Structure 1
Amino acid sequence: MLDLRICPACGDRAERPIATGETLVCGRCGHRWPFRRLPLFALTGPSGAGKSTVGPALAARMSGDVVVLEQDVLWTGALRDDVPGHPAFRAAWLRMAAMLHQNGRPVVLCGTVAPPELEPLPERVFFAEVHYLALVADPAALRRRLRARPAWREWDEERIDEMLGFNAWIRGQADHFDTTEVPLDETVAHVEKWVRAGLKQPAAT
């Protein structure tokens, strides 16, 4: 089964999957089966700090090594939950990343997320580590970037203030890289180095 919550022997679906190393264990029938337990990379930070710009460039540079995904593509329908931390949305992404990992390529997930929103979830057991890197920016620069966004993205001043608060908070929750005065190529190179360090691969020359 690509959905790692489902036991291939009895078909039971685990609400809290059990893993020992790279082996999953069915809590109902005791069946054990191997799976790929790869690291997950969460490229986080506030809106406007550069995640969506870095993502395509990173995908081009690391094609064949990782799969780079934008989390907002699933911010829709039933997954758009109003529960603090959006656990249904986060859990869906962890299950998706875990399925992709079974194909042998780690996932770099680009989106506004914090460690407390992923670490407590039952699906966290599918990953060897979750590495977090936050792209951040100077508050004044971030405010300008968000104000300049098209109207359909609905960035009013209240929402911008909330994002500036997240920008300040995430600096203390994850490794961070300030993109305010940094060219895109340099930012992408920094993110690539971070990913390769997590994969224990040498940086590209």
Structure 2
Amino acid sequence: MGLDLRICPSCGDRADRPVVDGSTLECARCGHRWPFRKLPLFALTGPSGAGKSTLGPLLAARFGGDVVVLEQDVLWTGALRDDVPAFRAAWLRMAAMLHQNGRPVVLCGTVAPPEFEPLPERAFFSDIHYLALVGSPESLRRRLRARPAWREWDEARIEEMLEFTEWLRKSADELGVELFDTTDVSAETAADHAEKWIRARLP
């Protein structure tokens, strides 16, 4: 069984669109079938400034290796910055490879279901659960304005993020996204909520 689930371990062909039957993959070229671990993926999402990066280390410490917590922006570099679907697909492939080690992944980063659900790599997961941290416009503006200059948060970009937040609040029920408002809560309280939310959905 290979770690990159798009590559057939028998003939080496790489599938652009994997053929999945439950937790079994099938090579469209040679017909070889092999099992894989099909686990849920946890997307800790929401607008920038709502607290995702703060919660990541707290959750990693609380789960103690039983769950892998990753920061999405680490791959926001090079050619992937110019091809957002490829960026999303790369993360799904990475998470699926980590799942083959038997540990579910919590991916911290701004993403919405329409960006993950249509991708071919979505078939590698039993579910993708979405928990979105949100905040009031005033709190998000304050936090983003306080960020260092290298993160390039000018006023136009901040307003775009506030528009995304408003869209997320209005669309959450339809998209199947759970919201948690961090405006007036401590990081520990937010981590308590996220930990409980993840544990309730673990296999």
TM-score by length of 2: 0.95
Q: Please give the root-mean-square deviation of Cα atoms over the aligned residues, in Å.
A: 0.8
Partner of 1:67: 68
**Any gaps of 5 or more consecutive residues in structure 2?**
none
Could you list the per-position Cα deviations for residues 21-73 of structure 1 after superposition, in whole angstroms to 9, with x for gaps in the alignment?
Answer: 11001111111000000000000000000000000000000113200000000
Partner of 1:115: 113
**Any gaps of 5 or more consecutive residues in structure 1?**
201-205
Partner of 2:148: 150
Partner of 2:202: 199
Residue 183 of structure 1, CA deviation: 0.9
Could you list the per-position Cα deviations for residues 119-142 of structure 1 after superposition, in whole angstroms to 9, with x for gaps in the alignment?
Answer: 000000000000000000001111
Partner of 1:187: 190
- Distance in 1 (alpha carbons) for counterparts of 2:55 and 2:191: 6
- Distance in 2 (alpha carbons) for counterparts of 1:65 and 1:139: 35
Letter in 1 for 2:17: R
Note if 1:131 corresponds to 2:135: no
Could you list the per-position Cα deviations for residues 140-182 of structure 1 after superposition, in whole angstroms to 9, with x for gaps in the alignment?
Answer: 1111111111111111110000000111112223111000000
TM-score by length of 1: 0.94
Seq. identity, %: 76
- Distance in 1 (alpha carbons) for counterparts of 2:149 and 2:80: 24
Residue 90 of structure 1, CA deviation: 0.3
Letter in 1 for 2:36: F
State the secondary structure of the residue aligned to 1:175: strand
Partner of 1:26: 27
Partner of 1:91: 89
Structure 1 residue runs of 4 or more that deviate by more than 6 Å after TM superposition: none
Number of residue pairs the alignment of both structures matches? 197
State the secondary structure of the residue aligned to 1:199: coil
State the secondary structure of the residue aligned to 1:90: helix
Partner of 1:6: 7
Letter in 1 for 2:47: P
Segment of structure 1 superposing worse, 121-130 or 144-153: 144-153
Residue 88 of structure 1, CA deviation: 0.4
State the secondary structure of the residue aligned to 1:68: strand
- Distance in 2 (alpha carbons) for counterparts of 1:88 and 1:99: 16
Letter in 2 for 1:142: L
- Distance in 1 (alpha carbons) for counterparts of 2:17 and 2:183: 41
- Distance in 2 (alpha carbons) for counterparts of 1:102 and 1:161: 40
State the secondary structure of the residue aligned to 2:126: coil
Richer in helix (by share): 2
